């Protein structure tokens, strides 16, 4: 595995860069450089074909200074411990940036969910929830959906947790379905938060978004919900891709038709509109905005050199590595960083947790209004700081998150 293929190396580089730029206590760097707990569970599952298989599950609990650990669960064949450590670190930064009472965590199972039928997926989720039950809780660690998981899986895992622990509060998991105690607006929250960042960025730069073009990598929960909102703005998606391939269409794709296709076929494979292209052609497509909404480490040196746009909106976590970001910056391309841009999901997860605790459920209008206001306020705070101190937006975001953690460590006598 070379250096940029290990996601935790990107976190280490970002931490070093932040502490070299920002005036923070050295001990804070020590405190946040490693997670508090790294949990690995190997659990057996009886599959539909009667075979017994051991699955490897992870839960990394990075930091709980501000509140219970919080972060998603990923079902993907490439899940590994250092990836969970990196994603958990970013969750600590995200919750501190929003000043919500959570820390950071992340986990998942190393397996390809596309290779299993629904009955087996259900059993794998149930057994994973049992294996995690001693380590999580509504005041301890609160998982949520991420790549390869959804509200159906969160419902199953919550139900199993409540039965296993003989408890009743559903706030132990967020991202549940509405009948099971989920929040209105959670499914589209991450895409909507990204959309608000884009609107605010355009306002601050006097850019009219109508008629602007973008390319989108990843057409899952985050990517498709964002694309729906962008089509309402009159923006045109001229290239798109997922784990099965990439497509271009200079006329623009119809997002509603694409969504219908993906719901039915589970991916973009064999999509019959536009031309099939490779990943290099995809990233070299001239457009206004590039949106990585799939996985980490997608924009490295090679991709950054060919990207031709005004702005990169980080919908995925850690999609751009340090070298990639330097190249983009030198080309005058703004990067709106993941911990700010995709934080709408954890914000509405917080609202879900509050609703579960109070047994008082909010209307969709209320949730979306709160989300929109909080995201635009935070975007402008980061943007103003980046201009005032001549930071890029990632450094400005880290400035806010790290200072918040430092203040609480000082108040608690640790620093």
Question: Where do contacts with ligand NAD occur on this chain (CB under 6 A)?
Answer: 145-148, 190, 217-223, 241-243, 267, 293-295, 315-317, 342, 345
DSSP 179: T
Distance CA 126, CA 46 (A): 11
Distance CA 259, CA 53 (A): 34
Is-catalytic flag, 48?
no
Q: Which is nearer to ligand NAD, 125 or 342 (CB)?
A: 342
Q: Which is nearer to ligand NAD, 55 or 114 (CB)?
A: 114
DSSP 250: T
What torsion, rounded to 10 degrees, do the Cα atoms 354, 358, 359, 365 define? -50
Q: Which helix (H) or strand (E) holds 107?
A: strand 104-110
Find the catalytic residue in 70, 85, 94, 106. 106
The CB-nearest residue to ligand NAD is 220
Q: How far is the CB of 318 from ligand NAD (least distance, A)?
A: 8
User: Residue 350 half-sphere exposure, CB side, CA atoms within 13 Å?
Assistant: 23
Q: Which is nearer to ligand NAD, 8 or 219 (CB)?
A: 219
Q: How far is the CB of 293 from ligand NAD (least distance, A)?
A: 5
Of 271, 228, 316, 225, whose CA–CA distance to 10 is shortest? 316
Q: How far is the CB of 216 from ligand NAD (least distance, A)?
A: 9
- In sign, the C-alpha dihedral spanning 248, 254, 259, 264 is negative
Q: Which is nearer to ligand NAD, 181 or 344 (CB)?
A: 344
Q: How far is the CB of 219 from ligand NAD (least distance, A)?
A: 4
Q: At residue 132, what are phi and psi to the nearest 5 degrees?
A: -85, -15
CA distances from 366 to 174, 186, 233, 380 (A): 18, 12, 22, 21
Q: How far is the CB of 214 from ligand NAD (least distance, A)?
A: 16
Distance CA 140, CA 137 (A): 5
> Which residues neighbour 232 within 8 Å (Cβ) at sequence distance 6 or greater?
none
Q: Which is nearer to ligand NAD, 57 or 145 (CB)?
A: 145
* Residues annotated catalytic, as ranges: 106
């Amino acid at each position: 595995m070379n250096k940029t293929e290990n996601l935790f190396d990107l976190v280490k580089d970002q931490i070093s860069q932040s502490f070299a730029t920002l005036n923070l206590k050295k001990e804070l760097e020590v405190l946040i450089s490693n997670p508090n707990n790294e949990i690995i569970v190997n659990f057996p599952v009886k599959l539909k074909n009667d075979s017994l298989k051991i699955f490897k599950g992870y839960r990394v609990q990075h930091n709980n200074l501000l509140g219970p650990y919080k972060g998603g669960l990923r079902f993907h064949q490439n899940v590994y411990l250092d990836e969970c450590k990196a994603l958990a670190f970013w969750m600590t930064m995200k919750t501190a940036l929003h000043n919500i009472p959570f820390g950071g965590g992340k986990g998942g199972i190393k397996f390809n969910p596309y290779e299993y039928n629904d009955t087996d997926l259900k059993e794998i989720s149930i057994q994973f929830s049992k294996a995690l039950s001693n380590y999580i809780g509504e005041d301890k660690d609160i998982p949520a959906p991420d790549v390869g998981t959804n509200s159906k899986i969160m419902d199953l895992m919550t139900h199993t947790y409540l039965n296993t622990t003989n408890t009743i509060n559903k706030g132990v998991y967020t991202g549940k379905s509405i009948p099971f105690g989920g929040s209105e607006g959670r499914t589209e929250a991450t895409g909507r938060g990204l959309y608000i960042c884009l609107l605010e960025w355009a306002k601050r730069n006097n850019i009219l978004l109508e008629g602007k073009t973008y390319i989108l990598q990843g057409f899952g929960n985050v990517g498709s919900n964002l694309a729906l909102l962008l089509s309402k703005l009159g923006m045109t998606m001229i290239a798109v891709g997922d784990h099965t391939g990439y497509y271009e269409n200079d006329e623009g794709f119809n997002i509603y038709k694409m969504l219908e296709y993906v719901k039915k076929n589970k991916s973009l494979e064999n999509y019959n509109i536009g031309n099939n292209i490779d990943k290099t052609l995809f990233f070299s497509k001239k457009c206004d905005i590039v949106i990585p909404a799939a996985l980490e480490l997608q924009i490295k040196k090679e991709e950054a050199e060919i990207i031709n746009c005004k702005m990169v909106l980080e919908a995925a976590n850690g999609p751009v590595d340090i070298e990639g970001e330097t190249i983009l910056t030198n080309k005058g391309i703004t990067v709106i960083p993941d911990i700010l841009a995709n934080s709408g999901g954890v914000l509405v997860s917080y609202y879900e947790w509050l609703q579960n605790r109070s047994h008082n459920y909010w209307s969709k209008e209320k949730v979306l209004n709160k989300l929109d206001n909080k995201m635009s306020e935070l975007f402008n705070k980061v943007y103003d700081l980046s201009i005032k101190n001549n930071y890029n937006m990632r450094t400005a975001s880290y400035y806010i998150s790290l200072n918040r953690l430092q203040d609480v460590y000082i108040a608690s006598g640790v620093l």
